[in-house]
Amino acid sequence: MPAEIESMMWYGERPWHGLGTQVLDMQTSEEALVKAGLNWEVEKKKLFINADGDDSGPFWEVEGNFSIVRKTDGRALGVVGSRYVPFQNRDAFKWFDELVGSKEAIYETAGSLRGGKIVWIMSKLPNHIGWSDDPIEQWLVLSNSHDGSRQVSVMATPIRVVCLNTLNTGIHRASAFFEMRHTSRISVETIIDARKVLGTVTRYFEELDGVLHLLKSYSMGEQEIHRYIYNLFPIKTKDQPTPDAEGEAEDFEFGPNVQKYINKILELMETGKGSDISGVSGSAYGGFNAVTEFVDHWQPVKGKAEKMPNKLFSIWFGNGRLFKQRAFDQLVSLVA
């Protein structure tokens, strides 16, 4: 299995990357932990260096710095400070149970990224937003890092069923994220705070539903479509930094790869999955769907083909998510 996805389990429809272990029934968090290959622990160890570069020493302690090591194979996952407190996979999953309520949620995927540095569990909540012919499911993703790069986080993740597009975008008035530092152990008080955040996430989905309906009601003209897509990419111009309302296509120059991406998004606006649903094609909602389908299914990743699983990290946490957020913000400004 490619290094980016070290291990995972999945239930239901096969993931687009085709990796992981399929399970035939919905999983409890304990079952998901085992099936996803996450039933291991980490420990915090003092960090030493060998100035001579050989096994004979001397070894010097790097004060204030520690290594997070996986107990099962001794793999060093990252370097952290003295205040860092490891959060074990089993504890994270139990905490997620308390957050979503084990009887309310369905655990469908869980796994490890980057050799154990990042782990996640993903839960589908009841109900959906959107429309009956274009439903958007409500998901929560808990992620935890063992390399000090990320806080423990819970993220609301809307997924468009018709093409499995991940529409995870932030709305200014309702947060879709909850984060907690590794500087104190999970407590009952923290769980209560997280449950309050779940209420905020519910409001986020309600508000997102309203925004998506607004986007679907707005019909974009050809000039607006081109300006929207141009503003998502680096643009080379002779006289102006960005296209304005009167800008013509021939005024702007793009690199050959960027031009391919632009052409693909334009194509997806007309022929993308779900574009044949009434009210989607030509709307601002259709424009956002074209971008999310491009990022989730078409946009290449750096490196060779075997690095395709890098997309999962990009879509949830990296450049793919930021790209979608820019598209979403631009369209919301257009229709507001």
* pLDDT at residue 53 in the model: 66
Q: Which amino acid is at 312?
A: L
* pLDDT at residue 238 in the model: 52
**First-to-final CA distance of the chain:** 45
Which residue has better confidence, 103 or 51?
Answer: 51
**Hey, is 29 helix, strand or coil?**
helix
pLDDT score of 308 more than 50? no
For 219-252, the pLDDT digits (tens) are: 999 999 999 999 998 765 555 555 554 544 455 5
Mean pLDDT of the chain: 82
* pLDDT at residue 223 in the model: 92
Note the helical H segments in the chain: 29-35, 89-100, 188-217, 222-230, 256-271, 284-293, 310-316, 319-335
In this prediction the pTM is: 0.78
DSSP codes of every residue in 81-101? ETT-----HHHHHHHHHHHH-
Q: What does DSSP say about strands 59-70 and 76-81: parallel, antiparallel, or unpaired?
A: antiparallel
Structure tokens at 144: 């935890």
Q: What does DSSP say about strands 21-23 and 5-11: parallel, antiparallel, or unpaired?
A: parallel
**HSE of 25 in the Cβ direction (CA atoms, 13 Å)?**
4
Residues 6 or more apart whose Cβ sits within 8 Å of residue 208: 129, 158, 167, 169, 171, 174
pLDDT score of 119 more than 90? yes
* pLDDT at residue 249 in the model: 45
Average pLDDT over residues 84-113: 82
